[in-house]
Structure 1
């Protein structure tokens, strides 16, 4: 729950069910958690998977300290970070990623991977992510490939053609 709440603070999403405590529900669309942030974080390729349990514990301790400084009473039925509301979570994360915090790099990594899960879905094959309705890719306007499995974009991304097509380029986009 703690890591879900962290990811949701980075890229907020809609609650998955009415009693959802990890997701603050400050927006109506899916966010980092639904995009697979925990799946990405747990992937050994990220280099953070083994540190997730300690980071989660540290985050809850920081939340407890934050609550004490702010005079807040936390719900003991959920982890301390989850007990904070969205604005309090965001304020704490700003403290954690601030210059001078010796733990800054770890928190920035968690934030980056939470954002990446939503923006580019690196933990999934793009075709599979699109078939599953990945919320971040859909929000950015990524469309499904053409019938032959290739992506073609009829409009130039920068509003103009950046280079002429090489005369030896095949229909599949490969050079001869």
Structure 2
């Protein structure tokens, strides 16, 4: 790989490419190698997948370097098997085209693959960054225009910052409140 690339840069760009394969987004710049650009708008990377993966609550932060090394090793083997010549100026997984990245992740997450649980966990956290912004407060995510919450149509809070759902999330009331429910919604 390019001599000017540090281990931290390899880790970052590889994890970004993995996250972008899970929830694709738009390239940040025309020469963006991590994000394949197969989708419009923000994907997992723009939604904070790297912040999520580095959050201590995930329990995977200590193993990220190992996962990056394994992923790049699998990408090298995949490329050799498919007769793909990899660009050695970027990490092997990043050098793969999007369809090949996705195919490799399918292989790694297939039932029976000995490393499946680790790759599924990594994918889960990338998805969580997009669809729930679990790594930051919901108020901050909304204020920052979080791409995932915007995409799924997450309801905005009222002017006082509180969420109220006057029109029931399913468009109809499923059950009547218990007769002893207080005005604040608490059971009596």
Which residue matches 1:34? 46
RMSD: 1.3
Which runs of structure 2 are paired with 1:41-120 in the superposition (5 Å)? Answer: 41-120=53-132
Deviation at 1:154, TM superposition (A): 3.0
Deviation at 1:174, TM superposition (A): 4.6
Total equivalences in the alignment: 175
CA displacement, residues 129-175 of structure 1 (integer Å, 9 cap, x when unaligned): 1000011111111132111221122322223212223554335x455
TM-score by length of structure 1 reads 0.94
Distance (Å, rounded) in 2 between the aligned partners of 1:12 and 1:52: 20
Distance (Å, rounded) in 2 between the aligned partners of 1:166 and 1:158: 20
Structure 1 residues 132 and 175, CA, compared in 2 at 3 Å: closer, same or farther?
A: farther
TM-score by length of structure 2 reads 0.89
Deviation at 1:125, TM superposition (A): 0.5
Unaligned runs of 5+ in 1: none
Distance (Å, rounded) in 1 between the aligned partners of 2:146 and 2:14: 22
- The answer to whether structure 1 residue 159 and structure 2 residue 163 are counterparts is no
Unaligned runs of 5+ in 2: 1-12
Which residue matches 1:2? 14
Please tell me whether the aligned partners of residues 127 and 144 of structure 1 are also in contact (alpha carbons under 8 angstroms): no
The secondary structure found in structure 1 opposite 2:17 is helix
Deviation at 1:72, TM superposition (A): 0.5
